[in-house]
Amino acid sequence: MTDTVVKSIPKAFLLFLAGSCLFALSCTAPPEGNGSDGARWFAMQHCNGCHGKDGAGGRAPEIRGVGLSYGELQAKVRNSGSAIMPSYSSERLSDKEIADIFVFLEEVK
Ligand code: HEC
């Protein structure tokens, strides 16, 4: 009895996870990014001034290879909610350019 209950929870949880992943993929699929363009935006927008060369950390936390999703990166960049980090409007940095930075941060980790 207890045995079946314990076993059925992970299964339901896995199904839930699979469902939410599909949902997330179809709803927030990032634009295709290009890492070498991303390196350029990263320097042009002075991300590197705070986050260090290649996002390795400096005056702000390391952001390369820290497991952030594209959605998390995009949300932070658009609305940093920070007294230190600026927010970037889509005129300043497009979704495509954020995707480029995302790929760049994946590639340099
Ligand atoms: C003036 C300094 C400054 C600049 C410029 C800056 N950041 Fe930040 N950023 C910070 C600081 C400080 C934090 C950590 C504190 C916070 O979240 O407010 C942060 C946090 C972040 C985080 C969250 C890290 C985490 O682990 O949750 C991301 C992602 C990020 N920055 C990306 C960027 C990108 C991309 C750019 C360029 C488009 C950029 N930042 C430009 C200072 C800066």
Q: Does residue 25 register a pLDDT over 80?
A: no
Q: Give residue 42's Cα distance to chain centre.
A: 14
Token couple for 103: 């790929």
Which of 91, 93, 82, 89 lies closest to 59, judged by CA?
Answer: 82
Q: What is the pLDDT of residue 23?
A: 54
Proportion of the chain above pLDDT 90, given as a percent? 67
Task: Check residue 65 and give its pLDDT.
Answer: 86
8-state DSSP, 32: P
pTM, rounded to two decimals: 0.80
CA-proximal residue: ligand 1, atom 17 (nearest): 82
Backbone angles phi, psi at 53, to 5 degrees: -55, 130
Nearest CA, atom 7, ligand 1: 85
Question: Ligand 1 centre from 3 Cα, in Å?
Answer: 47
Structure tokens at 91: 């005129």
Separation between Cα atoms, residue 109 and residue 99, nearest integer Å: 16
* Per-residue model confidence as pLDDT tens digits over 40-92: 999 999 999 999 999 999 999 999 988 999 999 999 999 999 999 999 999 99
Pairwise CA distance, residues 5 & 3, whole Å: 5
What atom of ligand 1 comes closest to residue 46's alpha carbon? Answer: 5
Name the maximum alpha-carbon separation found in the chain.
Answer: 61
Per the CB < 8 A criterion, the answer to whether 104 and 93 are in contact is no
